[in-house]
Amino acid sequence: MSFSVILPDGSKRDFDQAITISDLAHGISTSLGKAALAGKVDGQLQPVDYQLDRDANVAIITDKDEEGLNVLRDTVAFVFEAVAKKAYPELRFGEHAAGEDGFFVDTDKENQIKVNELPELENAVKKAVKAGEKIESVVMPKAELEEIFKDDPFKLELLSQETSDEVKAYKLGDFVDFGFAALLPNTGKIKQFKLLSVAGAYWKGKSSNPMLQRISGTAFFKKADLDADIKRREDIKERDHRTIGRDLDLFFVDPKVGAGLPYWMPKGATIRRVVERYIIDKEVADGYQHVYTPVLMNVDAYKTSGHWAHYRDDMFPPMDMGDGEMLELRPMNCPSHIQIYKHHIRSYRELPIRIAELGMMHRYEKSGALSGLQRVREMTLNDGHTFVALEQVQEEFTKILRLIMEVYKDFDITDYYFRLSYRDPKNTEKYFANDEMWERSQSMLKKAMDDMGLEYVEAEGEAAFYGPKLDIQTKTALGADETMSTIQLDFMLPERFNLSYVGQDGEEHRPVMIHRGIVGTMERFIAYLIEIYKGAFPTWLAPVQVEVIPVNLDAHSEYAKKVRDELNKRGFRAEADLRNEKLGYKIRESQTQKIPYTLVLGDEEMSSNSVNVRRYGTEEEIVKSFDEFIAEIDQDVKSYSRKNR
């Protein structure tokens, strides 16, 4: 036997007998042998006791590699399964996975595992770690595993998907499981870990399947990293828009009356209305014509546009009107705006024609994917489409991008980057087949970005099916990378819908269509705002801007109502707390509700027509004349509550 191993640096090592990955690592250096956690053999992750007996490219995985962290987390998940099975012999297991956010194990038993049971299970894992028990990598007959899991329908279903008669598995004492790429060789190599939460999870993510119990956790090689991650998770929990939305009474979703269909309470509706008015005013000032179009459209329009072919699974079933007409709840607004454009004969003198709408759309989201305001079935998109001549593309693209950046400034959004999203030329099914169109439109976007001197990343395979786009990616407060805004070039839909304008030469010409969304959907954008502000909205956005509190109900209520009414008359959103509660309780309540200004009114304020002002998040109280306060809050609102105003 003779074979060669190619290392990542290109060097080659020859062998005349089989060796393990661990042997290879020790042969390179003693320190690497000690640090080896697993190996990557021709791109496949393998445990350190995996035998090499053929030509292969091999990389040694240590705690410095991203895969090393996944090996650690998979190992903790496996050891957790072993101790949980010992504690609850009737326990069944579903799927498990490890990734950048930790690991999870899906479990099932008659009385599901509760969150208060996690500390005891965590201690059992710690004992296994302290014991340094061996984790053995084995290859077992599929039939033998089927016998082991004969009482576990979930594991049997996973086994049925294995195509080989032999399956790679791992053993810890008497416990066996499969589906792990590589695990640490013994429990003693596990470092820092924590079990985090218990939640429901449908089997394989389908709402029609049984609900299992998902145990989530995380693991790191260093305690400092674990501590930082736990702190990060606590911050995420504080920012969760679903929790804040409930605490501040902004919105709710009730599956009994419709999962994924948010109800906006008065305060949440106020925030949304402020955002909608703001964005409409911005767009109208920038030359957009705002329209209203129906949420229903003949399904043939979506067949013409290509949405039916590409996004049918995300669309609701068509409604048969009984006379051959099939109506569809719209998943996109583009065909509607195309109809607005087509309604008149267009001249080159009119271009660019900018059409915008806060357009309601519907998506056929699965129940398991729904989440607060971020993933819903009904949404309102801040949508717009510009119809331009070819020579106007770059100028219009630049104009749109500048508008987006102005909006970001007003909302104090600073953590974002630009991504040019191109087609994958090999994917002929997803993308409109026209090489010339793709090359021309992609180069146009690139040139526009270069001319503006903006940095960007390029992403192949992220384009829309009809054209390339610029995506503006933001980091949400929860750490996710999300598309906030987009500008998309489209040569295809004008062709499919036979759009034209009369040129200077009197002939018909084909316009280019630019799709753009400034802040995405109202639902997702407001979820984003809730989380970045932690519910403490800047004054211009706050649902209640001023809380007026009389010191004594009998003596000061009338003055409190007078101040409130005058503020409301001037366009500010003010409320007076006239409940029969203690003053301190009312002030704390105003702070809890994160109201920007609290005005406390007593004898001194009433006699001098002044107000005692406390800003949210401070203990400082300042007495000002009512006119001075009006000037302060007016400037606060007009400057979009920017700190440097």
Q: Which residues are annotated as a binding site?
A: 334, 385, 515
| Cβ contacts of 99-103, under 8 Å, gap ≥ 24 | 99/70, 99/73, 101/218, 102/73, 102/196, 102/216, 102/217, 102/218, 102/219, 103/73, 103/74, 103/76, 103/77, 103/216, 103/217, 103/218, 103/219
Residues 6+ apart with CB under 8 A from 264: 250, 251, 272
Residue 183 and residue 180: Cα distance in Å, rounded?
Answer: 7
Beta carbons of 641 and 538 less than 8 angstroms apart: yes
CA pseudo-torsion sign 36, 42, 45, 48: negative
Phi first, then psi, for residue 123 (nearest 5°) are -65, -35
Residue 240 and residue 269: Cα distance in Å, rounded?
Answer: 19
How far from 284 is each of 135, 291, 353, 477, CA to CA, in Å?
66, 11, 12, 30
Residue 472 and residue 400: Cα distance in Å, rounded?
Answer: 12
A 10 A CB-CB count for 525 gives 23
Beta carbons of 221 and 212 less than 8 angstroms apart: no
How far from 111 is each of 91, 92, 115, 198, 511, CA to CA, in Å?
10, 12, 12, 13, 63
Residue 68 and residue 64: Cα distance in Å, rounded?
Answer: 7
> Nearest CA to 355 among 435, 284, 274?
284
Q: Which two tokens stand for residue 428?
A: 């002929």
Print the SS3 string covering 275-292. Answer: HHHHHHHHHHHCCCEECC
> Nearest CA to 515 among 284, 376, 338, 392?
338
List, as residue ranges, the binding site for Zn(2+).
334, 385, 515
Beta carbons of 476 and 482 less than 8 angstroms apart: yes
